[in-house]
A and B are shown apart, each in its own frame.
Chain A
Amino acid sequence: MTDIPTVAPQLYLQSRSRWRPIEIVFWLATLLPFWLFPDYLSLASQIAVASLFALSLDLILGYAGVVSLGHAAFFGLGAYTAGLFSIYVWGEVFTGLIAGAAVAALVGYASSFIISRFRHLTLIMITLGLGLLLHEAANSAGWLTGGSDGLQGIEVWKVAGLFSFDLYGVTAYSYTLGVLFVVFLAARRLINSPFGLALRGIRENFVRMPAIGADSNSHIRKVYTISAALAGVAGALIAQTTQTVSLEALSFERSADVLVMLVLGGAGRLYGGLIGAAVFMIARDQFSGIAPQYWYFWIGILLVVVVMLLPNGILGGLSKIFARWSRR
C-alpha cells in the first residue's frame, strides 16, 4: 500500500487533510454540466446519487475491508423511508433526508453486530442474504411499499421553499450535488481522523489492531452504521428527486452495480467511488444509447480492460503510472 505513513501519525493526518489544488478543480468541474451539458442534468443528478452511494460503500469496503453485496438494503431503506415520509408526514426534503438516514443508520447499527463478527466470503454472503431477505420482505409488504409496482403518491415540496424539481433536472442536480459535497466533506474529515487511520489498520490486519488499543469490532460497528446512514441519504435523494421508489432500490443488482462502480474507480480512495460512478454511468448511458440491446458487451470490455491495464481501479492504476512517471 502506498498510503502507509512513514512520519508521525499527526503530521501524516494533517498533510492528508490539506486541500490539494486538484481537489478544488474536481469540485469546480462538477459545476460544469450546468453550462456545458444543460441537457444532461438529470443524468448528472443520478450520477451524484450513485457517487454518494459508492462513497458510503467505500467507507466500509475501501477503508475497513468489509466487502458487502447487500448494501442496497440501506439505499432502499433510505428511499422507502423518504418516500413514505413525504406521503405520511410532509414533503419537506431535508427532514426527509434525515429520516431516511436515521432509519438506515438504525438498521445498520442493528446488523453491524452480525457483520463485525465475520470476514471474507462468509461476510459477503451474509450481507447478500440479509439484503435479499429485506428485498423479499418489501415485496411481501405490498400494503406499505406498493410491492413490485413501486410506492405511489410521493410528493415533495420545493427545495428550501423555492425550487421545484423540473424536467431539466436543474434543481435535482443542484440539490444532489450540494448534499454530495456536504457528505463528502464529512467523510473526508472522518477518514483523515485517527478513527479513519484505525480503520485502515483493521483493513490491513484485523487481529493485530486490538493489540495496539483499537477495538476492531467496535470500530467496524461504528463505520458500518455511518456507511448505512450515508447509503440511506443516497436512497432518500433518489426517492425525492424522481418521486419514485421501487423494489429495484433494494435489489441485488443495485448492490452489485455499486460494488462494480467503486472497484472500477478504485476502492480505498475518497474519489474512487465518485470517479467510478461517473465513468460507469456515463459509459452505460452512451453505450446503451448506441446499442440498447447489447450495451453490456461494451461495459464488460471496459471492465476487463480496466482490470488488465489499471489494477486497483482507475485511480489506483493511474496513481501507480504517475508515480512511476514522476520518478523518472
Chain B
Amino acid sequence: MKQSLYAGVAVAVMALLPAGAQAQGTVKIGIISAYSGQFADTANQIDNGIKLYMKQHGDTVAGKKIELIRKDTGGPNPAVAKRLAEELIVRDKVDILAGFTLTPEALGAAPVSAEAKKLLVDMNAATGIITTKSPYIVRTSFTLNQVANTLAEWAVKKGGVKKVYTMVSNFGPGIDAEQYFQKGFKAAGGEIVGSVRMPVANPDFSAFVQRAKDLNPESIFVFVPGGAQPAAIGKAFAERQMDPKKIKIMSTGEAVDETAVKALGDLALGRISGWHYDYNHHSKVNEDFVKAFNAEFKRNPDFFAVGGYDGMHLIYEALKKTGGKADGDSLIAAAKGMKWESPRGPVAIDDKREMVQDIYIRRVEKVDGKIVNVEFDTVKGVHAE
C-alpha cells in the first residue's frame, strides 16, 4: 500500500502534452460532437459533410489555412461539452466552435461562445432555444417547429386530414415535435384524437401501435429518433396491417430515413413526411453532392451530413466576407443575411441566426424498383419562428 502510492503520484503527474503554438494565418475550428456512443453515426455523418466540403473547396480560404480539431463528448453531456469548448478556446486557441450532435452539447457550449465571443455553428442540434443562448450561435440544420408545424398545417389544409393521433418519443425533441405538430394541426382546424409518449430506449413498439390501431384514427403522426427505431416502428405498423395507403402515417424525416425505408421495403409505401433534405432531392447541386459523397464515403448523405456541409459553407463564406478576420462579431455579422443554394435547396440565414429553408412534403414510393421518398409538394421559405 505504502509503496503503491509512489506509483500513484507518478500516474497523477502523467505527462500531458502542452498545446502547440498557433501558426500564423490559420483559422482553427473546434468540432464538438458525440463521435462515440449511441449517437456516433450522427456525428460521423456530420463529419463526412465537413470533410467533403473541405475536400471540394480546399483547406485555405481568404488566405487562411483551415485547421480542424475534433473532440468527442460521448453523448448528451453538457458538462463535457462545456469543458471541451473551454479547452478548445484556451488551450487550442480555436476561432470557431462547430458540430453539436445533440441539444445538451450545444446548450453546454453556448455560454462559452458568449463569454469568449466566438462563432458557434450548430450543425445539427434542433431545439429552438439554442440560438437564444449566445449572440454568436448560428444554426445550419433545422428546428423541429420548422418541420412539425409546417407538416401539420399542410396535412389539414392540403392533405385532407382532420383527425390525428400522435406518437412521439418521450424526450426533448419528441416532446417538441408533439407540441409543434399539435399546435399547428389545431390552429389549422384539425382535431387531436389522442397522443402517446413512448420511452426513448424502446426496443419494441408493437404495444403502442396496437393502442393506436384500437382507436382506428384517420391519421397518425410519428416522431422517433433516427437509428434502429424508425425501422422498428415501421415494421410494427406493417405487422398490425396498418396500411399507410388507408391510414395516413405522417412523420418527420427520421422515421422514413434511408435505412428505415430500405429495411421496410414495400411496407413503407405511402408513408408521408415533412422534411428539409433527402438524397433524392432533384437539383443539380444535390445530384453532384450525392455523387461526390458516395465516391468519398460509399454511402448516401442524410440531413446530418448536409448540416455539416452547409455549416462549413457558412464558415467559408463568412471568412471570405470578413477577409479572414475570425472574431465572433465579424463572423456573425457576415453570416446574417447570407443566402446560398444548398444541396437541400435555396437557403438563407435570418436575423435570428436560423436557417430559412423549404420544407418538402414527401411520400414513400417505388421509383425504378427502389423505395425512396418522393417530394410532391413544397412549402417555401419556412422560418424557424
Contact = CB atoms under 8 A, between A and B. Distances in A.
Interface of A: 2-3, 20, 22-23, 25-26, 29-30, 32, 36-37, 39-40, 42-43, 46, 136, 139-140, 142, 147-150, 152, 167-169, 238, 242-249, 253, 266, 269, 271, 274-275, 278-279, 282, 286, 288-289, 292-293, 295-296, 314-316, 318-319, 322-323, 326
Given A22-B5, A37-B16, A148-B171, 4 more contacts: A2-B1, A140-B170, A295-B36, A314-B11
Contact of B36 (A29, A40, A136, A292): A292
B3 A318 contact: yes
A246 B104 contact: yes
B9 A246 contact: no
Contact of B111 (A43, A136, A243, A275): A243
B71 A288 contact: yes
A317 B75 CA distance: 32
18 contacts: A22-B2, A26-B12, A39-B18, A148-B200, A149-B127, A242-B78, A242-B82, A243-B111, A244-B82, A247-B76, A278-B12, A282-B16, A288-B35, A292-B36, A292-B71, A316-B4, A318-B4, A326-B3
Contact of A26 (B5, B40, B129, B173): B5
Contacts, number: 177
A53 B83 CA distance: 18
Contact of A142 (B36, B104, B175): B175
A295 B72 contact: yes
A242 B36 contact: no
Interface residues of B, number: 58
A292 B39 CA distance: 13
Chain B at the A interface: mostly helix, strand, loop or mixed? Answer: helix
B87 A147 contact: no
Given A26-B9, A288-B71, A293 B87 contact: no
Given A42-B83, A148-B171, A278 B14 contact: yes
B381 interface: no
A46 B83 contact: yes
A293 B40 contact: yes
Contact of B107 (A25, A152, A275): A152
A314 B16 CA distance: 19
A228 B173 CA distance: 32
B89 A167 contact: yes
B44 interface: yes
Top 6 closest pairs, chain A to chain B, by CB: A322-B3, A39-B91, A244-B78, A319-B4, A148-B171, A292-B35
A102 to B, nearest CB: 22
A248 B72 CA distance: 15
Contacts of A2: 1
Contact of A149 (B82, B91, B104): B104
A279 B104 contact: no
A4 B111 CA distance: 52
B36 A22 contact: no
Contact of B108 (A36, A147, A242): A242
A253 B112 CA distance: 26
A148 B78 contact: no
B11 A169 contact: no
A281 B172 CA distance: 29
Nearest to B19: A39
Nearest to B7: A318
Interface in B66-90: 70-72, 74-80, 82-83, 86-87, 89-90
A287 B95 CA distance: 23
Interface in B158-206: 170-173, 175, 199-200
A148 B78 CA distance: 11
Contact of B14 (A142, A274, A282, A288): A282
A249 B2 CA distance: 34
A305 to B, nearest CB: 14
A295 B75 CA distance: 14
Most chain B CB inside 10 Å of its own CB: which residue of A149, A246, A266 = A149
Contact of A29 (B12, B19, B44): B12
B305 to A, nearest CB: 15
B127 A22 contact: no
Contacts of B11: 275, 278-279, 314
Interface in B213-267: none
A312 to B, nearest CB: 10
Contacts of A289: 71
Contact of A246 (B37, B77, B111, B173): B77
Given A238-B79, A282-B14, A293-B44, A147 B72 contact: no
Nearest to B17: A286
Most chain A CB inside 10 Å of its own CB: which residue of B79, B171, B175 = B79
B13 interface: yes
B103 interface: yes
B45 to A, nearest CB: 12
Nearest to A279: B11
B376 interface: no
Contacts of A46: 79-80, 83
